[in-house]
Amino acid sequence: MREKAIAEYHELLAGDESLTTELFARLKGGMDANRLLYGQRRLGISLRPHFLTRQQYELLVVRSEAVAGAVDTLAEAMLAEPSLMAAVGLTPREQSLAMVNPGFAASSINARLDAFVQGDQVRFVEFNAENPSSLTDQAGLNQILFEIRALQLLAERYRMRQFSPVARVLDSLLATYKEWGGSGLPNVAILDWENLPTSHEFFLLRNYLVGCGIPTIICTPDEIEYTNGQLRRGEFRIDLVYKRIVIHEFLSHYDDTHPLIRAYADRAVCLINPFRCKLLHKKANFELLTDPTRQRWFTRQQRDAIQFSVPWTRRVFDRKTDYAGGEVDLLEHLRRHRAKFILKPNDDYGGRGIFFGNRISESEWDDALQHALGNDYVAQERWELHTEQFPIFNEHTWTLQPMFVDTNPFLFRGKVEGAMVRLSDSPIVNVTSGGGETGFFVLEHA
């Protein structure tokens, strides 16, 4: 059904004489007006949304929730045995903050798994447990794409389902605030640096929360103060901080006397996601998931999800490790089989510092390994990815182009709701690295 629907969509586009410069300008103007932007760059680059069948989406949900549950088990193990925190790369300060009880059970409330869905296969590449972005994008892009006649006609032929991750954000914030011990509706502060390219989504989220009766501000770490047991930005009392700032960047700027850290330690503010989320966020968690000696920690469903959807991953240093049922010298194995592997930073974002062994020379791979040894890196087995044709447009025209597409499910208190969809002509599918986004629908049936 999916292939048939996509073929019909492209056929409708090909016969649509309304796909003019005026329509393209209207689409781009709609993105500007609705803040569907990364800095000054418009997010939407395709005239077609991404489609999954109901069966594909249900498989994505099952695998995602199973892997998220397994990672929660890892967090519990690390809290019980703190030496495991260092094993996945937490710094001493990160370990210390992870040991502070946030006032609720989960180590991460809102998260995102980055994944590729191809046929009946779900392939995860990393788990963003710290501060998932783009929660407001897909619903907005869906509305923009409904300006296109092809989508209107396809919606008459197929039953299509879309999602509202931002509504689940509100639900998760309120449920967690209540679990933390809060009563009534909280005053919320969205916290990050100033003038970031992602700031548009902060405005969209603030406007949504305010429209739901939740007083909300956007502020930076330098604007808040902690006095008399209350965290404030000026006259605004802050009950809940929605933390979009990256923890290692925050800790590089401030010591433990910062108002947020003191208020958090005193349980005077509900912090989402808490500092404890670093336990789940490090990419080396996938090493623990794929370690044969730890499989007894997980349920049968979690083990199945790990086996079929989590890539073999190991922190890079001079060591022996297991691979495919045998023991290998890690560095030698990576050198001999570079086409099978990727090197990536253990704790970074935006597609920075990633090396694909199959896309660089032997000498460049050796240099990359030396770089990995001098920094905190993981090696990950590379999934075989395939491109898909998408109608990419600019100010004047559109063409079908082969694009890598990922489907990245959002998790709210462990449950999936919708996904972020990114497109790129590179296997590093990331908006920060120059990729774009498109809308997302599940095809229920014709």
Quick check: 434 pLDDT over 80? no
Q: Smallest Cα–Cα separation from 311: which of 123, 181, 133, 441? A: 123
* Residue 446: per-residue pLDDT: 56
Question: b/e map of 292-315 (b: 16 or more CB within 10 Å)?
Answer: eebeebbeeebbebbeebbbbbbb
Contacts of 88 (CB under 8 A, 6+ apart): 78, 279, 282, 284, 285, 287, 288, 315, 346
Q: Which residues contact 59 (CB under 8 A, 6 or more apart)?
A: 117, 120, 122
Is 80 exceeded by the pLDDT of residue 317?
Answer: yes
Taking the C-alpha atoms of residue 385 and residue 168, their distance in angstroms, rounded to an integer, is: 30
| Start-end of H helices in 340-437 | 362-373
Those residues whose C-beta lies under 8 Å from the C-beta of residue 14, and which sit 6 or more positions away, are none
**Dihedral of alpha carbons 81, 82, 87, 88, sign:** positive
Half-sphere exposure of 305 (CA within 13 A, CB side): 23
Beta-strand ranges (E) seen in 129-259 are: 159-161, 188-191, 216-219, 225-227, 230-233, 236-238, 240-243
pLDDT of the residue at 426: 83
pLDDT at 430: 72
Please state, in angstroms and rounded to a whole number, the distance separating the CA atoms of residues 333 and 172: 44
- CB-based contact 401:392 (threshold 8 Å): yes
Average pLDDT over all residues of the chain: 95
Lowest mean pLDDT among 65-69, 74-78, 430-434: 430-434
Domains of the chain: 2-281+404-445 (3.40.50.1760), 312-381 (3.30.1490)
Confidence (pLDDT) at 140: 94
- How far apart CA 79 and CA 385 sit, in angstroms, is 36
Please report the pLDDT score of residue 4 as a whole number.
Answer: 93
pLDDT of residue 352: 84
Residue 417: which of 76, 45, 110, 197 has the closest Cα? 110
Give residue 435's pLDDT band: very low, low, confident or very high (50, 70, 90): confident
* Mean pLDDT computed over 366-379: 96
Rounded alpha-carbon distances, angstroms, from residue 133 to 38, 202, 409: 11, 10, 11
pLDDT at 237 over 80: yes
Candidates 146, 13, 54, 139; CA nearest to 446 is 54
pLDDT tens profile 137-168: 989 999 999 999 999 999 999 999 999 999 99
Distance CA 248, CA 140 (A): 31
Weakest-pLDDT range from 183-187, 347-351, 396-400:
347-351
**Is residue 38's pLDDT more than 80?**
yes
183: burial class by Cβ within 10 Å (0-12, 13-18, 19+)? exposed
Please check the confidence at residue 433 and state whether its pLDDT lies above 70.
Answer: no
Cα separation, 298 vs 296, whole angstroms = 5
pLDDT value for 349: 78
- Work out whether strand 398-412 and strand 388-393 pair parallel, antiparallel, or are unpaired: antiparallel
The whole-angstrom distance between residue 171's C-alpha and the CA centroid of its chain comes to 19
Rounded average pLDDT over 346-375 = 92
- Check residue 99 and give its pLDDT: 96
pLDDT, tens only, 181-229: 999 999 999 999 998 888 999 999 999 999 999 999 999 999 999 999 9
The pLDDT tens digits for 276-304 are 999 999 999 999 999 999 999 999 999 99
Q: What is the pLDDT of residues 81-105, one digit of tens each?
A: 999 999 999 999 999 999 999 999 9
